[in-house]
Structure 1
Amino acid sequence: MSLPKPVMRGLLAKRLRFHLPIAFSLAIVAAVAFKFGVTEPRKKAYADFYKNYDSVKEFNAMREAGIFESVRPSVK
């Protein structure tokens, strides 16, 4: 009694027909999850931050703290 030979002809095409749609669907799911799980909250956080951001006030606070070497603190 001998073992039958494995069927090798068309094996790659057969496995690709099965795995390719799964790979594409998982990639699409991962992209959608990243978009709504990471990028959308990040865009909302940036919008909320810059809604009330005062750059002049921030600059004056950094200048008073002595962060900038080329800008002297104002004397009040």
Structure 2
Amino acid sequence: MTDQFPVFEVVLKKRRRTTWRWCVCTTNGDVVMHGSETSQPAARYKADRALFLLLLSAPYQSIRLSRLRSPE
């Protein structure tokens, strides 16, 4: 079942004194989205937001919605 639905994780790392780096990765370690913020809460928010947008635009989402709309 995991072949159909990819699994992602959010990673936060502190760099230097004032920079937090975030990334959304696959379980294989491939980076899908990344960025940096000046505070940990801001980095957590941006990473979670990126993950949400990624899941919202997933290919299986359009398949599910087309099944809901079909009159069959």
Per the TM superposition, whether the score is higher than 0.5 is: no
TM-score bracket, normalised by the shorter chain, equals: 0.3 to 0.5
More helix by share: 1
More strand by share: 2
Higher relative contact order (CA 8 A, sep 6+): 2
